Chains A and B, each alone.
Chain A
């Protein structure tokens, strides 16, 4: 019984860390992996998703629909930004860092000025359950399922839909895709919008469990970047396995020595991976296959 409850606790903690890493990193990985844009406004798309979700719940919408609304609004805002600003920066990756950083600061400060320093939370649904000595939150299991479901849906989108195939074609050889009649500019918009919507989804999913403040995006950004850096450019070969490895490192160290050790472990893992595998896990896996 003790062994079982210990095992469950380890799986739960690892799953919890995995969900957080996957959900925070997905949007960033799509935008970076597909388009080569390093999006420093990633946290603010998460903020957007969280605020929209919370407002929608307060207006009486059920939580799942509110979360989808959050993702949708973040996605639309992302497409709008892509049309007006980001598309001029595709051949200028360094400039895109500065510009998205600027957007991030404007969004944070704008939220503070327009909506105030904080927003009341909606409370976490579903209550708790007990295994052995420990109480657990049911909603955290929902988050784990959501992370796995998000990966599955993304995989279906990129391998089984027309959009996915066109998107991959556009990213690989843009001028041939264009010559074959693909509306590449629309594909770029949609891909950026998808990345932003994934960030919004993350914000919406975590909104009931967190403090809602204009700077809340910052809580996700470090983990998101760490996961994408370790993972490399591909979501399925990179982000997902990276999140799994980092989750084990983080949950193990945090349970052994506390939060500080968990944070240190995460960053040390990044340094080690970048030193040994400069192209992240994606590069490692692809080379193995070749």
Chain B
């Protein structure tokens, strides 16, 4: 009796030792998470970290990615572009992560992108933005102007009139987005009643409100970023501006309709690829799951969903590539069928631009700040980069294009 037990134990021990060695060799898949958990943007971005944590927990409970656990390496970037650069170097060089999920503001993305390119890292930018990043080291799951503005602006012009005023945050996001709005308004036979760019951090809008009233536009496009600028709505409402508003960033990111007293955001129209009010079974189940893990979450926004989806898309890419190697992952993306059923609907990664297709919901804020969805556009593809000559399956220019600066323009 004695002897066989020992040998069984010994065999077991060897087996255990071997399997531990095997795991140690592979180890966990490390994911860097650089998001603003404090500072001016924190309101919109803490949910992104929660989305990543939720997805990671689910994936690890179900056996990890290709059998390897997913380990998060999280840093608080403090809404500060320099922190992005420091932490991007740290996760790529010291922590040696396999992939990084990073960034809210476009200024921070452009601050860290050269570092990702330098170290041939792979970064996911899970945020809506002004579009145009043609860089094989970046995968973008957020919505872009051809998805948000090409839908929103013509709808607003048809409904309210063709005279448009834009107020936008004064940095690359606001400037390039305003250029998109200008072009689309012109294409549709409208005119710009005015444009004003607001420095980040400005919180007093009396004069801006008056400039808008002077120009008498049919509707206002608000591309305001950060919590200081969100004060505009309260101040405009108290001066009774009463214009319909359109936005690609508000409500869907900073849930201003929850934070301000009604009716300061009444008649605000936003194109978003998902917000917690979206009413379908998948979305409801997602919100329920989220609330179970984070009962105190003030609001689950568009970027939280993007971040959650992105973890699953990364899992799919790694499992199909059978490796975390960057080139292997690009080959999988090039097959053109990296898709999943998300809370918003079916989404796919476009191989040419490495951006994502989206269901676009037109959210309307009512007098009591309730949300309705007058219109939904299914499966809007991120086609613009491909149209202007970005094809990441062929070459990698590591550039950002704009409507006035892209290969088509310089070619013709």
| Residues 1-47 (chain B) with a chain A CB within 8 angstroms | 38-40, 42-43, 46
Q: Which residues of A contact B214 (CB under 8 A)?
A: 133-134
| Smallest beta-carbon distance A31→chain B, Å | 22
Task: Answer yes or no: A258 CB below 8 A from chain B CBs.
Answer: yes
List the 7 shortest-distance A-B pairs measured between CB atoms, nearest first. Answer: A123-B261, A128-B240, A137-B238, A124-B238, A219-B203, A135-B240, A254-B207
- Say how far A201's CB is from chain B's closest CB, in angstroms: 17
B228 touches A211 (CB 8 A): yes
Q: For the complex, count residues of A whose C-beta is within 8 A of B.
A: 49
Instruction: Select the residue from A219, A222, A254, A259 with max chain B CB neighbours within 10 A.
Output: A259
A13 CB-CB contact with B under 8 Å:
yes
Whether A135 contacts B264 by the Cβ 8 Å rule is no
B238 contacts A127, C-beta separation under 8 Å: yes
Which residue of chain B has the shortest Cβ distance to A129 in the bound complex? B240
Q: Give 1 or 0 for each of A173-214: 1 = CB within 8 Å of chain B CB.
A: 000000000000000000000000000000000001111111
Q: Are B227 and A20 touching (Cβ within 8 A)?
A: no
- The closest CB in chain A to the CB of B256 belongs to A211
Is B38 touching A259 in the complex (CB atoms < 8 A)? Answer: no
Known: A140-B206, A263-B202. A134 touches B261 (CB 8 A): no
Question: When the two chains form their complex, are residues B261 and A121 in contact, meaning their CB atoms are under 8 A apart?
Answer: yes
A212 to B231, CA, bound (A): 9
CB contacts between A and B, total, < 8 Å: 139
A211 close to B227 (CB less than 8 A): yes
The answer to whether A116 has its CB under 8 Å from any CB of chain B is yes
- A255-B198 Cα distance, complex, nearest whole Å: 13
Tell me if B213 is interfacial: C-beta within 8 Å of chain A.
yes
A215 and B170 CA atoms in complex are apart in Å by: 19
Chain A residues in the interface with B (C-beta under 8 A): 9, 12-13, 16-17, 20, 108-109, 112, 116-118, 120-124, 126-128, 130, 133-140, 208-216, 218-219, 222, 251, 254-255, 258-260, 262-263
Which of chain B's residues have a CB closer than 8 A to the CB of A122? Answer: 261
Are A259 and B198 closer than 8 Å at their CB atoms?
Answer: yes
Q: For A216, what are the chain B residues with a Cβ–Cβ distance below 8 Å?
A: 203, 227-228
B258's nearest neighbour on chain A, judged by CB, is A120
A215 and B260 contacting across the interface, CB-CB below 8 Å: no
A-B contact pairs, 9 of them (CB 8 A): A16-B204, A124-B237, A137-B238, A138-B238, A209-B231, A210-B231, A219-B203, A222-B201, A259-B196
Name B residues whose Cβ lies closer than 8 Å to a Cβ of A: 38-40, 42-43, 46, 170, 196-199, 201-204, 206-211, 213-214, 216, 227-228, 230-231, 234-235, 237-242, 258-261, 264, 296, 298
- Given A135-B241, A255-B211, A259-B196, A16 and B206 touching (CB < 8 A)? yes
Cβ contacts under 8 Å, A121 to chain B: 234, 259-261
Contact assessment for A262 and B296 in the assembled complex, using a CB-CB cutoff below 8 Å:
no
Contact residues in B for A118 (Cβ distance below 8 Å): 43, 227, 259, 298
B-side contacts of A209, CB under 8 Å: 231, 234-235, 238
- Give min CB distance, A130 to chain B, whole Å: 8
Chain A residue at minimal CB-CB distance from B79: A215
Contact A210 B259, beta carbon cutoff 8 Å: no
Asked if A219 and B206 make an inter-chain contact with CB atoms under 8 angstroms apart, the answer reads no
Q: How far is the CB of A261 from chain B (nearest CB, A)?
A: 10
Q: Is the CB of A13 within 8 A of B206?
A: yes
Report B-chain residues with C-beta under 8 Å of the C-beta of A134: 210, 213-214, 239
Q: What is the distance, in angstroms, from A109's C-beta to the closest C-beta of chain B?
A: 6
Closest residue of chain B to A113 (Cβ to Cβ) is: B38
Q: Are B196 and A258 in contact (CB under 8 A)?
A: yes
- What residue in chain B is nearest A264 (Cβ atoms)? B199
CB pair A135 B237 closer than 8 Å: no
A123 to B298, CA, bound (A): 19
Contact between A124 and B207, CB atoms less than 8 A apart: no
Contact between A137 and B239, CB atoms less than 8 A apart: yes
Instruction: Tell me the bound Cα distance from A39 to B170 in angstroms.
Output: 29
A123/B260 in contact, CB under 8 A: yes
Q: Give the Cβ gap from A248 to chain B, nearest Cβ, in Å.
A: 12
Chain B nearest CB from A214 CB (Å) reads 8
Q: Is the CB of A260 within 8 A of B207?
A: no
Contacts of B42 in A (CB 8 A): 112, 117, 213-215
- Do A124 and B203 touch (CB < 8 A)? no
A16 to B205, CA, bound (A): 10
Q: Which A residues are CB-close (under 8 A) to B227?
A: 118, 211, 213, 215-216
Instruction: Tell me the minimal C-beta distance from A250 to chain B in angstroms.
Output: 8
Structural contact, A219 and B201, CB atoms closer than 8 A: yes
Residue with the greatest number of chain A CB neighbours at <10 A, chosen from B43, B201, B204, B258: B204
Q: Which of A9, A109, A123, A128 contacts B38 (CB 8 A)?
A: A109
- The answer to whether A128 and B239 have CB atoms under 8 Å apart is yes
Do the beta carbons of B203 and A211 come within 8 Å of each other?
A: yes
**CA distance in complex: A251, B207 (Å):** 7
Establish whether residues A127 and B46, one from each chain, have CB atoms under 8 Å apart when the complex forms.
no
Q: A137 near B235 (CB under 8 angstroms)?
A: yes
